[in-house]
Amino acid sequence: MTDKPADEEKPKIVVDDDWKAQAQAEKERLGKEADAAKSAAPAQPGAPAAEAAAGRGRELPQADFSTLVSTLVTQIFLALGGLEDPKTKKRYVDLALARHHIDTLSVLEEKTRGNLTEDEKKLLDKALYETRMHYVQLAQRL
């Protein structure tokens, strides 16, 4: 045994704002990829015209694997206080909700095993690693 106090024996975790910047950069990158894929893909019959006719005029990202992963990652970082709630403009921490979304990513990994492209697998692996690490860091601080 050592004579160190218990708090000195635990590893120190330094949480900084880098993960927030990484999450935002990943979100922007995925958005650009989705925009590029959308402009290259043929238009779906009636969808954009129906949106414009209804006065909504918004552009939705292409429904693909990277968008699904990005959506879940965004929800995780929102629940971990890394992003502002767009409605309230406030940050909140809900570890149970973050854990639920991480578990959902894990289910996605399990159910798609062997059916993903190399890029999709890397994206999912990175998303799971990053979100799990941030969850653990925050949970230890709280």
What pLDDT does 12 receive?
A: 45
Token representation of residue 119: 């890029």
More confident: 17 or 73: 73
How far, in Å, CA of 69 to CA of 65, rounded?
6
Average pLDDT of 80-101? Answer: 91
Query: How many domains is the chain partitioned into structurally?
Result: 1
Q: Is residue 11 part of a domain?
A: no
Q: Where are the alpha helices (DSSP H) in the chain?
A: 6-9, 18-40, 47-53, 65-79, 95-112, 118-141
The pTM is what? Answer: 0.59
2 is written with which tokens?
Answer: 């050592």
- Among the ranges given (9-13, 35-39, 85-89, 92-96), the one the predictor scored with the smallest mean pLDDT: 9-13
Percent of the chain that is helix, strand, coil (3-state, to 5): 65, 0, 35
Q: Residue 79 sits in which domain range?
A: 26-41+61-141
Q: 93 has which bridge partners?
A: 80
> Is 51 part of a structural domain of the chain?
no
- Per-residue pLDDT, 30: 67
Mean pLDDT score across all residues of the chain: 78
pLDDT in tens, 11-54: 444 455 665 566 666 667 666 766 666 665 555 544 554 444 45
d(CA 90, CA 88): 5
- The yes-or-no verdict on residue 57 having pLDDT over 50 is yes
Contact 67, 127 (CB under 8 A): no
